[in-house]
Amino acid sequence: MGQQQEDGASPEGAKETMPHTATNLLVHFIFSTKQRCALIKPDFEKDLHAYLGGIIRQIGGTALCINGTHDHIHLLVACPPTIPWRRSLV
């Protein structure tokens, strides 16, 4: 696999391997208020979204979308491959 002959060519029938790995890890988080109570007021929502975006940046991720309603929030986050996906849940 990926073997090369002395002239640099791959032997006939050998599989070529990719020299690089591409990762696109997108995680969809949904946070709900306790018992789905309508606790997220419009005047507080913008600050809450900014706060969550800051946490995501702090761990090295990128918030692609943060939105929600009075009782829950959705986040679509791009996580770099350097972060174990389990850590992104903490």
14-70: per-residue pLDDT in tens? 666 667 778 888 999 999 999 999 999 999 999 999 999 999 999 889 999 999 999
pLDDT, residue 20, reads: 76
Domain chopping of the chain, boundaries? 25-88
- Which contacts of 46-50 are long-range, i.e. CB under 8 A and separated by 24 or more positions? 48/73, 49/73
* Pair 25, 77: CB distance under 8 Å: no
Fold for 25-88, please state it: Alpha-Beta Plaits (3.30.70)
Q: Count H helices, E strands: the chain?
A: 2, 3
pTM of the model: 0.69
